[in-house]
Structure 1
Amino acid sequence: MTWTLDSVYDRNKEAPYTFYLPSPPMLKLLQVGDLVKLIFLSDEEHEQFIGERMWVEIVERNEVIFKGLLRNIPSYITELSYGQEIQFTYEHICDTKLEDPEASKWDYYLDTKIVMTRDVLEKRSFNLMLKDEPNEENHLGWIFFSGYEPEGYNGDLDNYQVVSLGVALNIDDSFLAFVEDEPFSAYERDTETGKFNKMIDYDWG
């Protein structure tokens, strides 16, 4: 079995609102003795295994290259062991023990909830947005539809899923312009321009 370090930049590019990146000022503050978290990938497939996130203690660094010692015991990757020397760069650091002021925006994207039909999640596209009265703390009241749900689909509660706001923003962050709208707001995407238009006469009954 061989292992590699995952690129946090690539992961963040795929999910910019749900995959946290330590801010550059925090990374610049890292010094010998600090702990950083890296994602270790294996070329061997394991059920429910995407990668092992493990802490590494920095023992040496220059402007771009770090050396560290693994401070976790791997669960899957047998070629790694506690105390093993690891060489890495900024590209591999997914978390630190430092207090990062920038982390709060990811907390908001992850902790704030909206509702999507499962059709939206499958198609990774939404074309209708409705804002109802939120009935739970940290819930915005927004409901997203693909616009292609079959007849009778929307009447089945099993076809809906509560997800993080960041999930919607990863699909289309133009929604940020409307996120704070008052309840009983409705928007439909214009198929020609791709932009959302407010529906003044939406039938909430």
Structure 2
Amino acid sequence: MSWELDNVYDRNKEAPYTFYIPSKQVIDLLDIGDIVKLIFLGESEKDGLAGERMWVEITERNGEDFKGLLTNEPYDLKDLKVGQEVLFKIEHICDTEYEDPSSSEWDYYFDTKIMVSKDVLDRREFNFMLRDNPNNEHDSGWTVLSGYEEDDFLSNSENFQPISIGAILNIDNSILSIIDEKPLCAFERNKEGLFEEIDDYDWDSYLNG
């Protein structure tokens, strides 16, 4: 067989705030006739973890084991066809047609934006955070820096980009304890690796610079 099903729990462990998996409450509802989405990986995709997301109609359930019929026409996987029987387990289900009670939490992780320097994304590390007043409903107001940026880098707006707050939590979720701090505030990572507030941050220079 030239394809296999991806384990969505493994993907979620790698990106717990941006890779959605259905809640147990939704999984428990699944029964014959329901439609679920699985990720099919081809030979060339198993390392890159891209794959094709396709819907499967459940025809049999035995606890955590399922049988179903593929309802999509595969784009690139030649060994699969519409109507083909697929055997799968709970860990292969990446989405369902049910409304998930936990969806509001996921919406926050996906939709709320945080401004980061590209050096943070390159290093997968950040050591400084400040929160200004948000510009809109999806703007958190937070800006995140690695702490290694030079002045020339910081003065160029092209070196910054907005990303979902979930993506920054994937790097370090210890900031969950401060993410709801009200503007204006600034935090820096200390020698113990913990973020502590900068009480004397120069907000006048920041806001009027």
Q: Distance in 2 between matches of 1:49 and 1:108?
A: 25
**DSSP-derived class of the 1:82 partner:** coil
Q: Is the 8 A contact 1:38 1:53 kept in 2?
A: yes
Moved more, 149-158 or 86-95: 149-158
Task: Name the structure 1 match of 2:57.
Answer: 57
Measure, in 1, the Cα distance between the counterparts of 2:79 and 2:189.
51
Q: Tell me which residue corresponds to 1:132.
A: 132
Q: Which residue of 2 aligns with 1:18?
A: 18
Which runs of structure 2 are paired with 1:72-111 in the superposition (5 Å)? 72-111=72-111
Answering whether residue 181 of structure 2 is matched by residue 200 of structure 1, we say: no
Structure 2: 5+ residue runs without aligned partners? none
Counterpart for residue 179 of structure 1: 179
**C-alpha separation between the residues in 2 aligned to 1:49 and 1:96?**
20
Q: Deviation of residue 101 (structure 1)?
A: 0.3
Q: Is the 8 A contact 1:117 1:159 kept in 2?
A: yes
CA offsets per residue over residues 138-164 of structure 1, 9 Å max, x none? 111000000011341111000001000
**Contact residue 20 and residue 103 of structure 1 kept, 8 A:** no
* Aligned structure 1 segments of 4 or more residues deviating by more than 2 angstroms: none
Distance in 1, matches of 2:133 and 2:200, equals 18
Q: What does residue 166 of structure 1 align with?
A: 166
Could you say what secondary structure the match of 2:129 adopts? Answer: strand
TM-score (norm 1): 0.95
3-state secondary structure, aligned to 2:141: strand
**Percent identity over paired residues:** 54
TM-score (norm 2): 0.93
Q: Offset of 1:49 from its aligned partner?
A: 8.2
CA-to-aligned-CA distance 1:149-181 (integer Å, 9 cap, x gap): 134111100000100010111111111111121
| Secondary structure of 2:162's aligned partner | strand
CA distance in 1, matches of 2:2, 2:150: 46
Preserved CA contact (<8 Å) 2:5 2:39:
yes
AA aligned opposite 2:67: K
Secondary structure (helix, strand or coil) at the match of 1:10 reads helix
Greater shift in the superposed pair: 36-45 or 88-97: 36-45
Number of residues paired by the alignment? 203
